[in-house]
Amino acid sequence: MTARHASFAEFYPYYLTQHADRRCRRAHFIGTSSAIASIAQYIDSLNPWWLLFAVVSGYGGAWVGHFFYEKNRPASFSQPWLSFRADWVMYWQMLTGKLSW
């Protein structure tokens, strides 16, 4: 069971410990990138299936990373909103080179 965290500043360092394996971070990065592309497709086509694909690919990438590489339970199961925010911060840090992927 994941410990509850009172703030994002307290949660994010813990979140990074749950993503120590670079393969997990890569799976997150690929899933989040796919979700962004799916949202762009939705905006272009207005086909709601793209929104479903965005959710499936975004969470799917994360869950693959956790279940196959980290062998831990995704933080989104216990703290979904902090985890969602942390995923975007981690994505940005990987995109800008602050965090290796």
What are the residue ranges in the chain where pLDDT is below 70?
Answer: 1-3
Q: What is the pLDDT of residue 3?
A: 63
Residues 6+ apart with CB under 8 A from 20: 70
Cα distance between residue 52 and residue 33, in whole Å? 15
Q: What is the pLDDT of residue 76?
A: 79
pTM: 0.86
Q: What is the pLDDT of residue 54?
A: 96
End-to-end CA distance of the chain: 26
Crossing angle of helices 22-45 and 49-64, rounded to 10°: 180
